[in-house]
Amino acid sequence: MKRLTLLRHAKSSWDEPDADDFDRPLNDRGWKAARRMGKALKHRKIHFDVAIASTAARVRETLDGLEETYGDFLFPVHFDQRVYLASSDELLRIVRALPADAERALIVGHNPGLERLAITLTADDDDLRHKVEEGLPTAALVEIELPVDQWIEVGPGDGTVEELILPRELD
């Protein structure tokens, strides 16, 4: 059994409309949400064996905010340019290439790819999945249980949404 967690980056700033999308930082609301999510992960004792993250500034800052309240990450974080604005197909290729010994993996990136991946990987049979279909807001986290022994075996409809954490529901 594998667990895949998808985390959308926190709310980014649009203060500089001419700035390159890749370089947009978090705004104050985004920093607050990232810290709240880190606290929620720590409280729920959710941990990871490995993380793959987009190289975009807002993703790096989201991870910084998480770590402030979660504590030191005891797992490696690999920044991968392919995650930046990746399609669900590209993200699935990344999932299938995760280290075999990792039981719990985290991918931190962007929509619409993350949302579509969550929908693709899960069966249309529960309320949490339906909430994901309604939209994955910034700083939202989806944890998917996958009944496979190896990441390469992950396929459409295999998983179940086990947890959906929305920052607006924390406090």
Mean local confidence (pLDDT), 147-170: 95
Q: What is the mean pLDDT of residues 69-98?
A: 96
Query: What pLDDT, on a 0 to 100 scale, did the predictor assign at position 1?
Result: 95
Is domain 1-11+44-104+121-154 given the CATH code 3.40.50.1240 in the classification?
yes
How sure is the predictor about 171, in pLDDT bands with cuts at 50, 70 and 90?
low
User: Can you tell me whether residue 74 is helix, strand or coil?
Assistant: coil
Question: Taking residues 158-165, what's their average pLDDT?
Answer: 95
Average pLDDT, the chain: 95
- Could you tell me the end-to-end alpha-carbon distance of the chain, in angstroms, rounded to an integer? 31
Peptide bond into 112 cis (omega under 30): yes
pLDDT in tens, 78-91: 999 999 999 999 99
Which strand ranges, in their side-by-side order, compose the sheet holding 160-165?
77-79, 50-53, 104-109, 2-8, 141-146, 160-165
Task: Count CA atoms closer than 13 A to 131's CA, side-chain side.
Answer: 15
Helix (H) or strand (E) holding 7: strand 2-8
CB 55 within 8 A of CB 83: yes
Residue with the two structure tokens 């880190």? 38
